[in-house]
A and B are shown apart, each in its own frame.
Chain A
Amino acid sequence: GENVEQHPSTLSVQEGDSAVIKCTYSDSASNYFPWYKQELGKRPQLIIDIRSNVGEKKDQRIAVTLNKTAKHFSLHITETQPEDSAVYFCAPRQGSNYKLTFGKGTLLTVNP
């Protein structure tokens, strides 16, 4: 099955700084690469996703980059704000089924 590694496990930044979280996966058939934000006690919420035929996608302060050859994709958050504090999960999806395999999560803390 898919093996997903996410780094770092915790990340603390000052407000206004950038944050980068990296996700590596093992299944070369993966073709959809979402990032989820989860606040304490709440559901995972999709914040950005990218498909395998695209290298980069940006949505305001959030971007995702994909390197299919190296089997990794990264979440970039610029101009971080305290409300960005949450756990972030990558969850690549394999090609032949629609199962998401979640990483272990990154706890992002943005200090005011």
Chain B
Amino acid sequence: EPEVTQTPSHQVTQMGQEVILRCVPISNHLYFYWYRQILGQKVEFLVSFYNNEISEKSEIFDDQFSVERPDGSNFTLKIRSTKLEDSAMYFCASSGTGGGYGYTFGSGTRLTVV
């Protein structure tokens, strides 16, 4: 079964540092997303990406965040200057044609800001 792959699985960073989280969506999917989940809480939408541009972003996705699809396979989330409250599990997801049904989530990157 096709998978969404995320790297790294764990990342520890100093407050104020930049981090890049990487994702390889399912190859024939067209829609890409980032979500985050603070420990013990619900999954929160950050951003959706389609046709090489952001289609929607949440209030959480401020100027410190950016996304990129630098080539035909990778999809990245960059946090420019990390804060303690950015500590969370970050999930990448992708979905296919037909209205974006059938989300598949990656296994996540646990980001810890110290």
Q: Which A residues contact B (CB, under 8 angstroms)?
A: 32, 34, 42-46, 49, 51, 89, 91, 93, 97-105
Of listed B31, B103, B106, residue having the most chain A CB within 10 A: B103
Q: A97-B55, A99-B48 are in contact. Are A91 and B101 (CB under 8 A)?
A: no
22 contacting pairs across A/B (C-beta < 8 A)? A32-B99, A42-B107, A43-B91, A43-B105, A43-B106, A44-B43, A44-B105, A45-B105, A46-B103, A46-B104, A49-B102, A89-B42, A91-B43, A93-B100, A97-B55, A97-B56, A98-B33, A98-B50, A98-B55, A98-B95, A100-B43, A102-B43
B residues near A102, Cβ cutoff 8 Å: 42-45
A residues near B44, Cβ cutoff 8 Å: 102
Complex Cα distance, B33 from A93, in Å, reads: 13
B residues near A91, Cβ cutoff 8 Å: 43
Among residues of B, the one whose C-beta sits closest to the C-beta of A32 is: B101
A residues near B35, Cβ cutoff 8 Å: 100
Give the distance to chain B from A37, nearest Cβ to Cβ, in Å.
11
Q: A43-B106, A43-B108 are in contact. Are A101 and B101 (CB under 8 A)?
A: no
Give the distance to chain B from A51, nearest Cβ to Cβ, in Å.
8
Within 8 A of A (CB), among B65-114: 91, 95, 99-108
B residues near A93, Cβ cutoff 8 Å: 100
Interface residues on B, range: 20 to 34
Give the distance to chain A from B26, nearest Cβ to Cβ, in Å.
13
Give the distance to chain A from B24, nearest Cβ to Cβ, in Å.
14
B31 touches A98 (CB 8 A): yes
Give the distance to chain A from B39, nearest Cβ to Cβ, in Å.
10
Give the distance to chain A from B32, nearest Cβ to Cβ, in Å.
10
Q: A103-B42, A104-B42 are in contact. Are A34 and B103 (CB under 8 A)?
A: yes
Give the distance to chain A from B61, nearest Cβ to Cβ, in Å.
11
Among residues of B, the one whose C-beta sits closest to the C-beta of A103 is: B42
Among residues of B, the one whose C-beta sits closest to the C-beta of A43 is: B105
